[in-house]
Amino acid sequence: MYRFSNSSYYKLYGVNPKLISLATLALKYSDVDFGVSEGVRSKERQRMLFKMGKSQTMNSKHLKGDAIDVFAWDDGVKWDFYYYNKINEAFKLAAHELNIDYVWGGDWHTFKDGVHFELDDNAKF
């Protein structure tokens, strides 16, 4: 069973508590260790990522704490989509248990963002 590092907990500061609960439980269920690389973003950082093509919007849910980005860890950071599919499986289990709806960036049609997890706008909390 995995646990978040202090660095990951620090990056969760300001993130919606429901998303923190979801990610924390997902980590316990996950076959793949993962950490949080980014939670809340400033508008300046979002603008930079947008200009670099690493984000498709200036209205990111990161701006209000409703999204996180993660990184897979297996004797080093791994970017293969395989790892993020496995992490998403753990998020599904946790979401079902907690009754929290989320969206995974790996399911997007135009821009695959496997590291991205956000609360669903249509969710009834």
pTM: 0.93
pLDDT in tens, 82-119: 999 999 999 999 999 999 999 999 999 988 999 999 99
Q: Is the distance from CB of 34 to CB of 87 less than 8 angstroms? A: yes
Per-residue pLDDT reduced to its tens digit, 6-29: 999 999 999 999 999 999 999 999
Locate 38 and state its tokens: 């980014």
Instruction: Return the pLDDT at 110.
Output: 87
> Strand pairing partners for 36?
70
| CA gap 117, 16 in Å, rounded | 12
For residue 124, pLDDT beyond 90: no
User: Tell me, what amino acid is at 125?
Assistant: F
Delimit the domains of the chain by residue range: 6-119
- Domain 6-119 fold is Muramoyl-pentapeptide Carboxypeptidase; domain 2 (3.30.1380)
Q: Which amino acid is at 32?
A: V
- Report pLDDT digits (tens) over 31-67: 999 999 999 999 999 999 999 998 889 999 999 999 9
What is the rounded distance in angstroms from the CA atom of residue 60 to the CA atom of residue 108? 14
With bands split at pLDDT 50, 70 and 90, how would you rate the model's confidence at 1?
Answer: confident
* Greatest pairwise CA separation for the chain in angstroms: 38
The answer to whether the CB of 28 falls within 8 A of the CB of 2 is yes
